[in-house]
Structure 1
Amino acid sequence: MNHIPSVNLKDFISNDPVKKQQFVDQIGKAYEEIGFVALKGHFLDDQLVDNLYNEIKNFFELPLETKHKYEIEGIGGQRGYVSFGKESAKGKKEGDLKEFWHFGQYVDDNPALAEEYPDNVEVKELPEFNKVGKEAYQMLEKTAKYVLRALALYLDLEETYFDNYIHNGNSILRPIHYPPITQEPKDAVRAAAHGDINLITLLMGAQGKGLQVQNHKGEWIDAIAEPDELMINVGDMLSRHTNNKLKSTIHRVVNPPKESWGTSRYSIPFFMHPVSEMKLDVLDNCISETNPKQFEDITAGEFLNERLRELGLIK
């Protein structure tokens, strides 16, 4: 496959069983073949998208010493600010050319989980920042819920199979700033080739060139969304749970051509995680003679901690 298929979530949530089934078939096939889709019909409206971009640009333009106030020690970068070059891809020594922020889950009905997750960090200089971040988080989470419902049907599971695992899940909204490049990077790129850790990722900000996806032949193809589309990909947790039936595809963000080095890039992924006790054991109906069980049993929490150590975010 040499392009990213486009699907419309409105087909799935319509009352038309034919359109709903077509959406299930299209998204399932795309995730088997390339691991990415471009999704229209999501729950983010244009005004919310504009507000979010304005707020994150305002944040990243704050003085460095102000931003550093929001870099919280001891939580593996799970909330607040993570400074430039701190994160590297698995197996890479060079830090990625980016800085970012993390919004996490807003738990309102489970005191034990509220205790388990770090608190969200309030930015005192920007009165709208946290309000807009929370609203975007919840609209992306709602979109992700319906995508996972479609995938549950594709996998011959009950439609709401994932619902309880993702309610109050350990999901992260990560506004990223790739600053202008001021000198020839030594082996560093904006985001080195990697697979995502989580169930699925919903990406805002893939409208220009930069994001590339590796297809099954090992070729890098550009993943460019239309203005009204989110780019959504399978993460390693879902790939593992489905015995690699649904593919977690390696992707990267390449440096722009030299004439565009002076420009910033912003992108905003939403990493949909389940609650930490979800078992990622391979689903029985994804095991066959031709596709024997490929992964050991593990919980989502154990898998996340393993990967955060590999990324250098926790010791």
Structure 2
Amino acid sequence: MQIPIIDFQPFIEGNLETRQAVAQQIYQACHEIGFMYLKNPGISSQQIEAIFTRSQFFFNLPLEVKQQLAWSDEISNRGYVGIERERLEPDKPGDLKEAFNVGKEVSSYNATPNIVINKWLPEQEDFQSEVLAFWYTCCQVADQVLQAFAIALQVPEDFFTTKHDQQNHTLRLLHYPPITQQPKPGQVSAGAHSDYGSITLLFQDRVGGLEVQARSGEWILAPAIPDTVVVNTGDLMQRWTNHVFCSTKHRVMIPTDERIMRSRYSIAFFCHPNHDAEIVCLPSCRRENSAIYPPISAGEHLLSRLQATY
């Protein structure tokens, strides 16, 4: 099974016929494997290179500086996550990676309205502005992809975007440091998992390491391809579509070659519906008038998954 490469520019710029053709390619990719590469997604290579430079700057800071921004709770889900702090497979040791989570500047939970919850270092305005600009660009790309999903699934084109308009998305800078000592038994860089939300945009550096599980159970490589972004469907999209679109497990293993001594960087944009959005099976995805899952609110689902991870 190969992860397909889909040119997204005809969807962004084309007429109804070309948009439907791209949406059909996306439908096939999401149905068969849950992963795809989007070429020409609407983000310049210069902006992507710049955010990777900012990410390397942040992770090169001393640990005690990064810990000033430490992740503290599932509701905000912001800040620095140290090595081994997250455990994507609960029965294995903590993952050999560190991360920095950013979302919109204010909380959307009713209990804490309009409170700035991102965590920033003082006197790092350039870092803050560039990371937030990239977050906003990803919001725009995600909305375009969600429009394609809507066309593919035969619902109104704004069906998904209106359920994501609170922009409860998380941008995650990720660093997998060189392995300098023997890992614990069963320890990996990022454990096998599926993503929690609706869709994910993933940007990789050239070191690579991402593996995707095909339906056969085989793990296949998903290397970085220039001028593309990896897009995959998450658990809530799988629930919405009654498994018509699949939420596929993926992982990052510890390299077995010279890459073990190199840093790997990636950037993930996790697209989540509004917290109060009800995730219920789409009419076009019902099988014999039955739904696999009961309705659930997107916020309730996300909190339960984060609580199980940390």
Fold similarity call, TM over 0.5: yes
Letter in 2 for 1:57: Q
Aligned to 1:96: 95
The 1:113–1:154 alpha-carbon spacing in structure 2 relative to 1, beyond 3 Å, is farther
Aligned to 1:292: 290
Aligned to 1:251: 250
Q: Is the 8 A contact 2:88 2:309 kept in 1?
A: yes
- 1:1-315 aligned at under 5 Å gives the runs 2-75=1-74, 78-106=77-105, 115=113, 119-124=117-122, 126-186=124-184, 187-205=186-204, 207-289=206-288, 292-312=290-310
Deviations 1:40-89 (A, max 9, x none): 11222122112211111111111111111111434567111111110011
Measured in 2, the distance between the counterparts of 1:113 and 1:11 equals 42
Measured in 2, the distance between the counterparts of 1:93 and 1:111 equals 32
What is the DSSP-based 3-state SS (H/G/I as helix, E as strand, rest coil) of the residue aligned with 1:105?
A: coil
Identity fraction in percent: 36
Letter in 2 for 1:226: I
Measured in 2, the distance between the counterparts of 1:5 and 1:111 equals 37
1:207 Cα deviation from its structure 2 partner? 4.3
Deviations 1:232-282 (A, max 9, x none): 000001001111110000100111124222110000000001110000111
- Structure 1 unmatched runs, 5+: none
Q: TM-score, normalised by structure 1?
A: 0.92
* Displacement over 6 Å in runs of 4+: none
Letter in 2 for 1:21: Q
What is the DSSP-based 3-state SS (H/G/I as helix, E as strand, rest coil) of the residue aligned with 1:189?
A: coil
1:116 Cα deviation from its structure 2 partner? 6.8
Letter in 2 for 1:131: S
Backbone CA RMSD of aligned residues = 2.1
Deviations 1:202-247 (A, max 9, x none): 0001644310111111111111231100000000010011111100
Letter in 2 for 1:265: R
Q: TM-score, normalised by structure 2?
A: 0.94
Deviations 1:141-163 (A, max 9, x none): 11111111011111110011112
The range that moved more, 116-125 or 210-219, is: 116-125
What is the DSSP-based 3-state SS (H/G/I as helix, E as strand, rest coil) of the residue aligned with 2:216?
A: coil
1:113 Cα deviation from its structure 2 partner? 9.0
Measured in 2, the distance between the counterparts of 1:207 and 1:18 equals 35
The range that moved more, 117-126 or 267-276, is: 117-126
Measured in 1, the distance between the counterparts of 2:214 and 2:228 equals 21
The 1:40–1:114 alpha-carbon spacing in structure 2 relative to 1, beyond 3 Å, is farther
Q: Is the 8 A contact 2:208 2:264 kept in 1?
A: no
Measured in 2, the distance between the counterparts of 1:135 and 1:18 equals 32
1:181 Cα deviation from its structure 2 partner? 0.4
